[in-house]
Structure formats: C-alpha cells, structure tokens
Amino acid sequence: MTKITAAITAVGAYIPEYRLTNKELETLVDTNDEWITTRTGIKERRILKDASLGTSYMAIKAAEDILKKKNLDPKEIDMIIVATATPDMSVAATAAYVASEIGATNAFGYDLAAACSSFLYGMSTAASYIASGRYKKVLVIGADKMSSIVDYTDRTTCIIFGDGAGAALFEPNEEGLGLQDEYLRSDGVGRNFLRIEAGGSLNPATHETVDKKQHFIKQDGKTVFKYAVSSMADACVNVMKRNDLTNEDVDWLVAHQANKRIIDATANRMGLKDENKVLINIEKYGNTTSATIPLVLFDYEKQFKKGDTLVFASFGGGFTWGSIYLKWAYNSN
Ligand code: UT7
C-alpha cells in the first residue's frame, strides 16, 4: 500500500490595509526608527483599524483566497483549524464561525492556542489527520488581531506586533512529499515571561484588572529572546540531524517572524550560508503571532519548487516551540 503523507497544496492570505510605520510609532511612544530596525528588523506592521472586526474577518478572507485559487467547493473541506492567540471571543470557537461563513458546511473546526507556535502545531495536527487517512482536506489558518491586545503606550511591545492572516490547505500525497518529520516541545516556565495577566480563569476580568492594564500582552523581552534563540535553533538542528539533512540540503528556512536577530541566529546554527534561503518578511508585517509562518509561505510561494526542502521553526508564549521538515509539493504558475 502506498504511504500517505500530508502536503501543502495551496496558500492564501489577508493583510489589513493600514500601515503602522516606525515613524508613526515615534509619535506614540519614546522610540525611533533606527532602534526598532536594528533591534527587530521591523519597518512597519499592518493594523485592522475597524474596531467592529475581529480575527475571524481576516481568517475568512485568507480562507476565501485559497477557495478562489483552487476553485475549491467549500463543502469538500473536512476540517478547519484556526491557530490564534486572539479569538473573536472565548468559548465560541472562531473556527466554527469561519467554517460557516465560507460555506464549509461539512467541516468541523476548532481553535488552536499555542501563541506564536499555534500554526506550527496546527500543521502537525492537520498532517496527522491526513496521514491517518481520516480526512482529505484540512485547512489551517493562522490569524491574529494583535492590535486588540497591545498597549500602545508600552514601547517594549507595541513596536513588535501586527495584524494579519495566512492559510494553508493540507491534502494527501502519494509521492512522499509534504510533512516528513517534526520536533515539537513546550515548557510552562514561559508563562512567567510572556502573557496576558487577566481575563482567564486564574484572574478573571474586573474593573481593577482593566485599570491595571492587565488585559494587554506583556513580555520580558530579553528572557524570551534568550529562550527563543536557543530553543528554535536546537529544534531545527535536531530535525536536520535525525533526517540526515546537511545545510546544503535545506532549500528554505521558514521561521516565525518575531525578531530578525532570532531568525539569523537560528540560520547560523543550521549553517545556512546563503542568506537567500532564510525567508524574511518581518520588515513588512512585524510579529503577527499565528500568521507569520503562512504569511512567509504566501510571500515566497512562487520561489518554491516541487521537491524543495523546507525547514519550519517557531517559538512563542507558553513557552511553545519546534521545527518541522516538509517537502514542497507543487510548482506555482
Ligand atoms: O513571538 C513571541 C516571542 N517573542 C519574542 O521572540 C520577542 C523576543 N524579544 C525581543 O525580540 C527583544 O528582546 C525586544 C525586541 C523585545 C527588545 O530588544 P532587546 O535588544 O532585548 O532590548 P532590551 O529589552 O534589552 O532593551 C535595551 C534598551 C533598554 O534601555 P537601557 O535599559 O539599556 O537604557 C530599553 O529600555 O532599549 C530600551 N528600549 C527601547 N528603546 C527604544 C526598549 N524598547 C525600546 C523601544 N525604543 N521601543
């Protein structure tokens, strides 16, 4: 019997129009373009300005992009995972709403919350369902409206995050392409260093939590940075080693875009000498949390060739991190 693997067969995206530039941030907090650029690599990020719209708006647009490109009947979709740290609301899964809005009436869906690693974990889930033979079309959408949880008076976070959505369709492959291996990990120590303090069951919302600004994202950037650099690089090197991949074998590094310095350090540990293999778009979008990885796929899709070796990497709140080795399954154009 032919082994079934799970391949990405299409990518889609939605990016809000409004560009929040480093220059504009200079008018909001004590910062400057030079500091932001050299410390993070970010020049601007997109913001979903309409306060009446949530993460689902962007997730739906990214999903519709794929439906259009593939000329796909939404009724064929079996499952939808919305990877997000900013669901429309708690309890009611954003994925269920997205499925209904795009007409995926034969699908079930749920949200996957693992902060910046949500999309990577979602890839793993989708691929497992496909490889098991249980489902044939699984849509993984990474979407976050980070502007809904960012304090625009806090210069240590507001310069980093942006809004956006990206999506990937997973389907069975019988040529051995698609997801090959993964190394995923988590460590609860992370909740001391990157979190939203209130609004969950541990510390429910009160007038006081609002007054104390405890519903905004906060991080100890330096500590998170250190963990991110070592964990992301370790995960990638691990995946390379156990699959006998040399630096020459890796065609593309698709990393979570949190800080260009973290990505460069990871590429360095992997021995990637050709900087063109290290895919970067952080300058345009900032850190869109669950959306960074599919947005990289979307921006660079045309450069990927069938059979190319992609190594994915992420690190995020929790902490959650990991690496995935995937063989690209199609040529664009
Ligand atoms: O995606 C989820 C995971 N998150 C991450 O991976 C984020 C990881 N962390 C980082 O990317 C970096 O730590 C930051 C970009 C958040 C900060 O960069 P850093 O090089 O670690 O800066 P720092 O926090 O050590 O601050 C250095 C200096 C400080 O001033 P002093 O104490 O040296 O005088 C800060 O007060 O820079 C100051 N600073 C700023 N200056 C201008 C902090 N934020 C800013 C700012 N503009 N926005």
191-245 pLDDT tens trace: 999 999 999 999 999 999 999 999 999 999 999 999 999 999 999 999 999 999 9
Report residue 120 CA to chain centroid gap: 7
H or E element at residue 322:
strand 320-327
| H or E element at residue 295 | helix 292-300
Which residue's C-alpha comes closest to atom 17 of ligand 1?
221
Mean per-residue pLDDT, 84-100: 97
**Is 238 annotated as catalytic?**
no
Whether 2 has a pLDDT exceeding 90, the answer reads no
222 C-alpha to ligand 1 centroid (Å): 7
Note if the pTM is more than 0.85. Answer: yes
| Residues near 76 by beta carbon (within 8 Å), at least 6 away in sequence | 106, 136, 137
Q: How far apart are CA 319 and CA 189, in angstroms?
A: 7
Q: Selecting from 3.30.560.10, 3.40.47.10, 3.40.190.10, 3.40.50.720, what CATH number does the domain 180-327 have?
A: 3.40.47.10
Nearest-atom number in ligand 1 for the CA of 289 is 1
Q: Does the active-site annotation cover 287?
A: yes
- Report, as an integer, the average pLDDT of 323-328: 98
pLDDT single digits (tens) 138-191: 999 999 999 999 999 999 999 999 999 999 999 999 999 999 999 999 999 999
Is 90 exceeded by the pLDDT of residue 1? no
Average pLDDT for 74-94: 98
Radius of gyration of the chain (CA): 19
Q: Which amino acid is at 289?
A: T
Give the integer Cα–Cα distance in Å for 107 and 104: 6
pLDDT at 18 over 90: yes
Catalytic annotation present for 207: no
Please state the domain extents for the chain. Answer: 5-178, 180-327
CA 122 – CA 160 distance, rounded (Å)? 23
Mean pLDDT across the chain, nearest whole number?
97
The CATH number of 5-178, from 3.40.605.10, 3.40.47.10, 3.20.80.10, 3.40.50.2300, is 3.40.47.10
Q: Give distance in angstroms: CA of 155 to centre of ligand 1.
A: 9
Compute the distance between CA of residue 320 and CA of residue 27 in angstroms, rounded to an integer.
34
At 30-60, the pLDDT tens digits run 999 999 999 999 999 999 999 999 999 999 9
Q: Return d(Cα 312, Cα 236) in angstroms, integer.
A: 8
- Whether 325 shows a pLDDT value over 90: the answer reads yes
Task: From the candidates 22, 236, 256, 259, give the one annotated as an active-site residue.
Answer: 256
Closest CA to 163 of 185, 184, 178, 146: 146
- Long-range (24+ apart) CB contacts under 8 A made by 71-76 are 72/10, 72/137, 72/169, 74/102, 74/103, 74/104, 74/105, 74/107, 75/103, 75/104, 75/105, 75/106, 76/106, 76/136, 76/137
Task: Determine which residue's CA is closest to atom 47 belonging to ligand 1.
Answer: 31
* Residue that is written with structure tokens 């990638």 in the block: 236
State residue 332's pLDDT score.
87
Tokens of 178: 């698609």
The pLDDT score that the predictor gives to residue 4 is: 95
